[in-house]
Every structure is written in C-alpha cells, then in structure tokens.
Amino acid sequence: ILKLPEKTKLHILAPIIRGQKGEFKKEMATLIKKGFTRVLIDGQTYELLEVPKLDKNKKHNMDVFVDRIILKDDIRKRLADSIEMALLHGQGLVKVQILGEDAQEKTFSENFACIDCGISFPEISPRMFSFNNPHGACAECSGLGTKRFFDPDKIVPDGNLSLADGAISPWQSRWGHFHTQTLKNLARHFKFDMRSPWYKLPENIQAIILHGTDEIVQFTYDSEDSFYSVEKEYEGVIPNLTRRYHETESESFRSEMEEKYQGVVECPSCHGARLRKEALFIKIDGTSIAEIGKKNIQNAFYFFQHLTLSKKEEKIAEKILTEINARLSFLMNVGLDYLNLDRMAGTLSGGEAQRIRLATQIGSGLMGVLYILDEPSIGLHQRDNDRLLETLQYLRDLGNTVLVVEHDQDTINQADYVLDIGPGAGTQGGQVVAAGTPAQIQKNAKSITGQYLSGKKEIKIPSKLRKGTGKFIEVIGATGNNLQNVDAKIPLGTLTCVTGVSGSGKSSLIIDTLFPHLKKQVMHSGGKGLEHKQIKGAEYINKIIDIDQSPIGRTPRSNPATYTGLFGPIRELFAGLKESKMRGYKAGRFSFNVKGGRCETCQGDGIIKIEMHFLPDVYVTCEACNGKRYNRETLDIDYKGKNISEVLDMTIAEAHKFFAHIPTIKNKLTYLENVGLDYIRLGQSATTLSGGEAQRIKLSK
C-alpha cells in the first residue's frame, strides 16, 4: 500500500458479511456499539443508523469503514493500526478502496485461504510435503500411495485349473474338505460344473464364488462323525478372507495373507502421489513436488539446474538448490541416474540400496572412516560399474578405508589388497585361502579366485549353442515407461539374455510388458502389462513362471523347506515312525504353523519379537523351547538319531546325505544343491536370505 503514489486517497474496510442471507440487525447493532459509523452494503454506502431493511431472502455483502487515509510520509503508523483493526473485525481480511481516476478495490488476507471462495490451507511448512508426516500424508492411504485389496488373480493364480483341482488357492488348506463341500453345494444350487476350468466358468458364477451372493443357498456338510444342513447366504471367498484378515490377532497370518493373496492398487484420492491435495496445489515453475518425485535423478538434476525463478526467489532458494544439486550429483556419480526419486525402497536391489547409502557418505566428506560394502556392483552394467569404482577410490583418497565384499573381477583387480575366503561354501569354508595384492592372489595356487583372475581357469563358452525350437515370442510396439516403440524377437528353447545399461528398459520390456501379457494369455490370470501393440507366439507356451528376487516369505516361519515343499514329505516321514503311531501323532504334529506339536510360547517361530516402538523390532530366542520351535513331546520323536528341529537345522548338503535313500526328499535337495545352495539350512528364516538366494530357491522349485 505504501508503494502507491503520495496523496493517494484510500478507504480501509473490514468485510463483515460475505454472500449470506439475512437482515443482519444484530451485526449492525454490534458495529454501532464499537463506534463504527458507515458501512458498504451490496456496493452502496450507508450511515449505520440509516441502513434500510434488508431482504432476508437475498444474499448480501457488508463491509464496515474503518478509516479514510491520504498517503503521506508520516502515515505508516496510522495505516498499520487501521489495517490491524480491519483484520481483527474482518476475520483476517481487509479491503482497500483506492479512490481517484484509477479507482480500484483490493482485498488482502492473512489467512491461508482463497479470498474469493474461502477454501483454506494449513500453514505451509516442510512437514506438509512429507508423506511420512500426518500433516502431509494423504488421509485415505496414510501416505502409502496405494491401497491393499484381495486380488482375484492371486486367489485364482491358474485359470486352467478347475474348482475340483484346487483353483481357489487360499482354500487348499487343512480346511480344504469343508471348502470343497461349500463349492459342491454352490455348484448344485447354481448348476455349474466343478470340473470345468476356472476360465471357462461364466463371469456371473466366478463373481458369486469370489464375492458371495444374497441368495439363500442350502449347504450340507458331513464328516466322519457328523452331518448337518443349513440354509444361508454365501459369504464369498474375498469377503471371507477380508473378515479373517481384520479379525485375526496373528501377525504371521496377516503377513501371509498380504504376501500370498493381496495386491495393491493406486490410491483413488491422491492417485499415487501420497500427499494431501493441498500440498499438490503448490508448484514451483509449474511443477508439484509429486511430479518432481516421478522424475529420474538425471532429469531432476536438469530440472533444478534450469529453474525459472525471480531474483527474490533465487536469493531465497540459493542455498537449498546448492544442497539439492549436490545430492543429485552424488547419486549420479554412483550410477543411479536412472532411478526415479519416488522409487519405493522395497523395490531396490541390494546393490542399489547400498549405492544410495554410499552417495550420502560421499556428501559428508568424512575422513578416517571404515566403509564396508556388500556386493555393491549387483545388477550394474559395466559402464556404471566403472563409475562406482571411481567413487570407491574417491572415498579411499579422502583418507578412508573401504572394505568391499565382492565377486566382480574389475573390483578385485582395482583393489589395493585382497582377502580370499574359502576354499568352499558353508562348513567347507571359513578360512583365509590367500591374502595380498591382486597380482599375488593370481599367483597363489591355493586360490580358486586367483586361478580365474589369472585365466588359468575359465568358464568356457559351449562350442555349440542350442538352436532352439525354431519358434519365437515377438513383442511388437512396446512403449511402456521409457521404451521407444520397441520390437523384440525372442527364440524359444534357448537361454536368451536381455542386457543393456542400467535403466535402459530391460525390466520394462520383459517383466512389465511380456510377462503379464503371457500370463493372461496362457494361464488366464494377471493384468495386461505396459502398453504395446501386439505380442505373438503365446500359443507355443503352456506355462510361464516369474522367478524374481523377492523374498520367499516375510516372516521367520518361512524357510526353504516349507517353500520348496520339502517339509511335507519330512513331516510324513516322522509321522510314519513307530513311536509317532503309538502316540497317535499325525503329520500336523510336526508342523510349527498349527497347534499341537509346536511351542506355544513362540507359536513355532523359535524366536519372540519385542516391539521397540521408535526403534526397529528386536527378535530374541524363545526361552521355552530354546529356539527349537517344538514342544518337548514332539522333540522326543527322532529319525536316525535326529528330531524334527535338528533336521531343520541341517544344511542342504547334510540333509542330502541324511535322506539319501528317500527319493521324494532327496530329489528336491538335489535341485537345491544344483543351484549352489548346499550351504543354507533347511529351516533358515526367509528373512535372512539374500535376493539371489531367494531367487535360486524359486529356481530349484
């Protein structure tokens, strides 16, 4: 206001009524008591004592005159007092009428709200832009950007199976007999064939089975010693799972449901942005914080380098931009320029996660620190690996010690000192085989690593490559994510490698485009995948399996034995022993997932989780069973001197010898050995396995 020309005449007004119906006699009486004399009602000026009667059925605007001012040198204090009074009576709003030839009216507000429509904003602060803070997170998804739901494609993973053959995956449990009778009752009532493949059932029948029906159905159930009949509505598979998911007090059961049968869908409120809508309205250079998060690191770096800002904004943002650009540079230097800023941490490979942590350390510029890295080159293309090695050498040159656990040949050759541990895996390892410079390691006859580095040993490329079947899978016009209208022809019956620099689109083409389409075509389940014109050759395939590096389980009770199906035959073996039969023990007695034979203190986990609230949870060995998972009576049963807990504690190699004469168990162990997992234990918790180990367990299955 003070920037207006000197001698400009102003009226300072306080808005009292805005677009409301009524006569407002009480409000005007209050203004008179407070000493005000004039008001502006619907554009007309009145003395407060002479205001005509207002039509109570029409909307009115009423402003009270606070002061009349002529701008001059000594007017600042009076102007400030008048504006303060107007804001007080106008609920944070003040109107300024500029009189004269260029007459105009301006409204100012001290509220975080739109002056015209009144939509309010919370105070703008950093926490408003954090999805980890209640003030910034989307209220519907709590800042996750997604919502969980029971996925029909996971409940019926193979549409080629019939209901009689177990198409409903979560119903293939110890209650399977009950669920089978439920389905038979439905088949009788709605007249469909239990032996028909799931994908051939009419859509309305599929919907009834999955989501239930209000129609009254007669259900009859029988077992060895009972029979009963009841007429009721059918709940449906998905409502049943949803109810059990919310009612259960078992965290392990809830985790199992999430892992096996739930999918995620984009939050309908924030559309995956994870923030409240008010935060998304605020933009810099036309871009919201969510849109910046969707950029990869290289594009984000370019965005912040070329921001269009006013001189005032540049001064405010100078230090912040310096910090942002420095951090983005560090991430680019460790070969992560292809990652999106909003990439979920759980989807990062082990190597990517390590390189992110490494980037933060580069920025700190510390000296005299010991840095330990575990296989940071995993998944890196050779070009990006060279940049990673330069970063590690930079850390060393700052005056730090860098210790890297690694198989990569270039990393070993560029090391100043090498420790070679071996000679084998598991119980056959644990010794320092060789130590010294890379050149000394190469000359050491005891070092298998050295022999490969020197070229004395090598992995030979077969002289004859497989020709395949002569048939192909063709992807035509793939455009998802960064793919530029890609056409790819993949020969069947061969080992085909899809390679390229990190972030070039390998996973987008194979995992996100080809796999979902083929799964939909071949197994009648799954989505359509990323955008593409056509995929040919699905008719040559009868099954498709995605063997990724996701964990085989997310709870301590998941392990290689349960995942591969080894544990079933082992439990049957123990149940068939003479002592078990005398005691009436069935195979379920030797399961740590159900009551009976397990330790009830830890519910078969062998460990007990202690919640630390603001710190990561701590797991301690169960004192009741000493980590053995089972109660004393179950552990009394032994086979060849080993009880069920001791069998689970065996390595794959030990178990292979132990069960050498039992083909159903031996064969599965052979597959695990063939993929190089002879050192892991049968009952080893899935949470302790690396991504590569989990992938090889899936491959063996």
Residue pair 180/168 in contact (Cβ under 8 Å)? The answer is no
The CATH number assigned to the domain holding 579 equals: 1.20.1580.10
Strand-pair category, 370-374 with 401-405: parallel
Of 244, 266, 288, which residue is a domain's last? 266
Long-range contacts at 105-110 (CB < 8 A, ≥ 24 apart): 107/15, 108/83
- Are both 450 and 476 inside the same structural domain? no
Residue pair 516/529 in contact (Cβ under 8 Å)? The answer is yes
- Are both 160 and 259 inside the same structural domain? yes
Does any domain span residue 117? no
> Does the structure show a pLDDT above 80 at 121?
no
> Does the structure show a pLDDT above 90 at 12?
yes
Does any domain span residue 639? yes
Report the distance separating Cα 572 and Cα 590, nearest Å. 9
pLDDT of residue 635: 94
- Are both 167 and 260 inside the same structural domain? yes
pLDDT of residue 412: 94
> Does the structure show a pLDDT above 70 at 527?
no
Does any domain span residue 43? yes
Assign 246 to helix, strand or coil. helix
Residue pair 97/64 in contact (Cβ under 8 Å)? The answer is no
Interval 565-585 mean pLDDT: 93
- Are both 477 and 427 inside the same structural domain? no
Residue pair 400/371 in contact (Cβ under 8 Å)? The answer is yes
The tens digit of pLDDT for each residue in 607-642 reads 888 877 767 778 899 999 999 999 999 999 999 999
Does any domain span residue 40? yes
Does any domain span residue 325? no
The tens digit of pLDDT for each residue in 92-114 reads 899 999 988 888 888 888 887 77
Interval 503-513 mean pLDDT: 87
Does any domain span residue 31? yes
Does any domain span residue 331? no
pLDDT of residue 552: 83
Report the distance separating Cα 331 and Cα 363, nearest Å. 10
> Does the structure show a pLDDT above 70 at 91?
yes
Residue pair 182/219 in contact (Cβ under 8 Å)? The answer is yes
Interval 284-308 mean pLDDT: 93
pLDDT of residue 525: 72
Report the distance separating Cα 243 and Cα 570, nearest Å. 33
Which of 75, 66, 102, 71 minimizes the C-alpha distance to 6?
71
- 3-state SS string over 152-215? HHHHCCCCCCECCCCCCHHHCCCCHHHHHHHHHHHHHHHCCCCCCEHHHCCHHHHHHHHHCEEE
- Are both 360 and 484 inside the same structural domain? no
Interval 47-73 mean pLDDT: 91
- Are both 224 and 256 inside the same structural domain? yes
- Are both 486 and 447 inside the same structural domain? no
- Are both 70 and 180 inside the same structural domain? no
Report the distance separating Cα 628 and Cα 646, nearest Å. 8
- Are both 528 and 623 inside the same structural domain? no
> Does the structure show a pLDDT above 80 at 173?
no
pLDDT of residue 174: 65
pLDDT of residue 362: 79
Q: pLDDT class for 464, splitting at 50, 70, 90?
A: confident
The CATH number assigned to the domain holding 245 equals: 1.10.8.280
Q: How many domains does the chain have?
A: 5
CB-neighbour burial class of residue 188 (10 A; exposed 0-12, middle 13-18, buried 19+):
middle
Q: Where are the beta strands (DSSP E) in 210-345?
A: 213-222, 227-234, 262-266, 283-284, 287-288
Q: Which residues contact 297 (CB under 8 A, 6 or more apart)?
A: 328, 331, 332, 336, 337, 338, 339, 340, 341
- Are both 158 and 259 inside the same structural domain? yes
- Are both 568 and 492 inside the same structural domain? no
Residue pair 330/359 in contact (Cβ under 8 Å)? The answer is yes
Domain hosting residue 479, numbered range: 472-540
Which of 628, 458, 474, 476 minimizes the C-alpha distance to 538?
474
Q: pLDDT class for 118, splitting at 50, 70, 90?
A: low
Does any domain span residue 404? yes
> Does the structure show a pLDDT above 70 at 651?
yes
Which of 564, 560, 542, 697 minimizes the C-alpha distance to 158?
542
Of 508, 540, 572, which residue is a domain's last? 540
pTM over 0.85: no
Of 492, 508, 540, which residue is a domain's last? 540
Strand-pair category, 146-150 with 262-266: antiparallel
The CATH number assigned to the domain holding 371 equals: 3.40.50.300
Interval 137-149 mean pLDDT: 92
The tens digit of pLDDT for each residue in 334-365 reads 888 888 999 888 777 767 787 888 888 877 77
CA dist 429 → 76, 82, 433, 679, 694 (Å) = 84, 84, 9, 10, 21
- Are both 518 and 564 inside the same structural domain? no
Interval 165-174 mean pLDDT: 84
